[in-house]
Structure 1
Amino acid sequence: MAEADPRFLSAVAAIREVDVADAAGLDTQLREAREPFVVRGLIADWPLVRAGRRSGREARDYILRHARDIPFTVSVGTPESGGRLFYDDAMAMNFRTARAKLPDIFNRITETEGRPDAPPIYLASIDLHGFFRGLHEANHVDLGDRAPLASIWMGTPTRIAAHNDMPANLACVAVGRRRFTLFPREQFRNLYLGPVDNTPAGRAVSMVDFHAPDFERHPRFREALAHAQVAELGPGDALHIPAMWWHHVEGLDSFNVLVNYWWRETASWLGTPQDALSHAMLAIRDLPADQKRHWRDLFDYYVFDYDDDTVAHIPADARSVLAPLTPDAAARLRAYLLRQLSR
């Protein structure tokens, strides 16, 4: 795939870079960060990074030595997509997914590497522990007391539409180069988000083509760009993406590998806000306007403006789920919701 040149990004602010001396320094940066930051060379000593510096094939051989003999899920696009894994004109996915053993997938990458008619081949969010033996142990970042989900992303040149994730993210480029374009959380209105239930990877994505933005169709995207930040990362570099920040990701080389770590900043037994949003669409969005206003007030009262005054009139031992949630209370609330939704 010929690398496109999104020239409008030349005026976008660079993501700030920080120096990190050790795990304690990284921990401090992560705890204090309110915006993204780049750490150059954070994982430069990984064996995977060293293999990738020699060649993409050596990186693939290194990864294969750790792979379990089980099927992997792979996405395969069309040559004319330019590596953009997105929708087609009918709003179906412009790529297909298949299951195959990793040696077969890598052989296909090797066979088509460098060809102008090569289809994009992408393995997304593969669990490092479940699909590999020893790869995490030999190549990982010390994140202290966090309990992250560690995933690996591998493939040919690709473009992944701007989206966001609930967890905080440390994205580490192990092989190839990647360009990240980030936007603060509040810019979602200016990114022209697509469907929430028909998505390339489970999250609503920006409908704007970052390599050929249509400013007549998406005029507010200019405002998003005024708040954007961009960085190109090479092998060994890492990027912290705060929770819910929007990010557009491009794999720029013939073979690219990213290892990322997601962690929640809240208890794992709490619910997922996206589920609450989906249920609100089902239960509230199409109510009469006066009822919607009332439900907005109730959400403010019980959720967004919740404080001690909300429950001060209720005896402390009788507040149930109106008290600060515990694992047991959360489990009761989840069970109640499941019963209600199954009616």
Structure 2
Amino acid sequence: MTGTATEIDPAALPDASVFQRVVADPCRPVILRGAVRHWSLTRVAADGNAALAAYLGRFDAGREVEAFVGDPAIAGRYHYSDDLAGFNFTRQTLPLNQAIRRIMETADQSLYVGSLPMSVFLPGLAEDNPLPFAPAVSPRLWIGHASIVGCHYDMSDNIACVVAGRRRFTLYPPDAIGDLYVGPIDHTMAGQPVALAADAEPDDPRYPRFAQARERAITIDLEAGDALYLPKLWWHRVEATGKLNLLVNYWWDAFPAGPDQPFAAMLLALTAIAGRPEPERAAWRAWFDHYVFRPDGHPLAHLPTDRHGVLGEGRENIGMLRAHAMRLLRGG
């Protein structure tokens, strides 16, 4: 039994503030059918490779990009080598227009280019293809042959817009992490670790708990013109099945709470807590729950708000907490 995702009509999202309240605040995936069907980029892509290449060429800043290139035998499945020491593809640097031409002129290879900020590589393209409810960030472009991107998470919220080809997203909630058998966090294909079990053969004996994650999976099929909102930390495996696939995405933090990244805080917690004995870890878990995760509300709710000190609202309190933490890290 698999889960489902909510669908919301993009016409009900006139601006970013409504999107934040209706789509982002619940922190659940949302399908947005036809969200970018009106784009010039989507319409031109439907007219064929020549029209698409000419359109993108109008905005090409002439910069070089890094392409993932694999042997045709990998069939677009970019992954580790069998021993996890390396990868089954290489990285090549070439001008963007050459990369696009190679993708368009070959259909039996494995090549893709991704995460290109439009403001840098294709200035003006975003302005020519506006999305009224999108955050004020530079969207990124991804283009390539058919591909399978290993199951991973992002540390940013994401609006993924399919422009050409088809995309199948297989999603797992953040709390499935223990059943996904995640690979190393410091030896990755593109920055984030991948869930090894999600790309293994069904019922692989190395990953017995994956059956529990598979029961909770959400499968979403998107056509050209459709979009998906994906909250940060949701695991996603992405299959692009067209001969040529083009996606535009927006990455941003929908819930900024200060200047520090949560993942950095987790890394510090690893160095400070993970190696301690289980009873002490349990004690620290109680403190983290009380002060950070707050299942019972604010830890000083029993006091007047003007007695909350550095745990009160306001950026000045964040600054004082950071300064105190920095002194402790320096041994002060």
The verdict on how the C-alpha distance between 1:101 and 1:244 changes in structure 2, with shifts beyond 3 A counting, is same
Deviation at 1:317, TM superposition (A): 7.3
Superposed, 1:110-149 pairs within 5 Å as 110-111=104-105, 113-115=106-108, 118=109, 120-143=110-133, 146-149=135-138
In structure 2, which of residues 165, 169, 173 is the aligned counterpart of residue 176 of structure 1? 165
1:3-41 Cα offsets, whole Å, 9 max, x none, are xxxxxxxx7455443333253387264146453222222
Is residue 64 from structure 1 mapped to residue 79 from structure 2 by the alignment?
Answer: no
Instruction: Give how far 1:58 is off.
Output: 2.6
How many Å separate the matches in 2 of 1:312 and 1:17?
A: 41
Q: 1:240-275: CA deviations, max 9, x gaps?
A: 212322111111112111111123222264321111
Whole-Å separation in 1 of the counterparts to 2:225 and 2:304: 55
Q: Distance in 2 between matches of 1:319 and 1:127?
A: 41
1:93 to 87, 93, 98: 87
Alignment partner of 2:29 out of 30, 33, 36: 36
1:206 Cα deviation (Å)?
A: 0.7
Question: Structure 1 residues 57 and 218, CA, compared in 2 at 3 Å: closer, same or farther?
Answer: farther
Structure 2 CA distance for aligned equivalents of residues 263 and 148 of structure 1? 7
Q: Does 1:109 align with 2:103?
A: yes
Identity between Structure 1 and Structure 2 (%): 32
Change (3 A) 1:309 1:156: closer
In the aligned structure 1, how far is the partner of 2:93 from the partner of 2:326?
A: 32
C-alpha displacement at 1:342, in angstroms? 6.6
Asked if the contact 1:215/1:222 (under 8 Å) is kept, the reply is: no
Q: CA 1:211/1:198 → structure 2, altered by over 3 Å: closer, same or farther?
A: closer
- The Cα of 1:66 is off from its aligned counterpart by 0.8
| 1:188 aligned residue | 177
TM-score, normalised by the number of residues in structure 2 = 0.86
Report the residue type matching 2:273 in the other structure: I
328-337 or 45-54, larger mean C-alpha shift = 328-337
8 A contact 2:165–2:243 mirrored in 1 = yes
Aligned-pair Cα RMSD in Å: 2.9
* 1:257 equivalent in structure 2: 246
Q: In the alignment, what sits opposite 2:38?
A: 45
Verify the 8 A CA contact 1:167 1:263 in the aligned structure 2. yes
Give the distance between the partners of 2:245 and 2:96, measured in 1 at CA. Answer: 15
The equivalent of 2:293 in structure 1 is: 304
1:128·1:152 contact (CA, 8 Å) conserved in 2? yes
Instruction: Write the distance in 1 (CA, Å) between the matches of 2:3 and 2:288.
Output: 37
Shift of 1:158: 1.1
1:240-319 to 2 correspondences below 5 Å: 240-267=229-256, 269-305=258-294, 307-310=297-300, 316=306, 319=309
After superposition, what is the alpha-carbon deviation per residue over 1:114-160, rounded to whole angstroms, capped at 9, x for unaligned?
Answer: 23xx1x2122211121221210001131126x434521111111111
Give the drift of 1:208. Answer: 2.3
Count residues with an aligned counterpart. Answer: 326
User: Paired residue for 1:7?
Assistant: none
Tell me the equivalent position of 1:163. Answer: 152
Note the residue ranges of structure 2 that are not aligned, 5 or more in a row. none
SS of alignment partner, residue 208 of structure 1: helix
Shift of 1:204: 2.1
SS at match of 1:290: helix
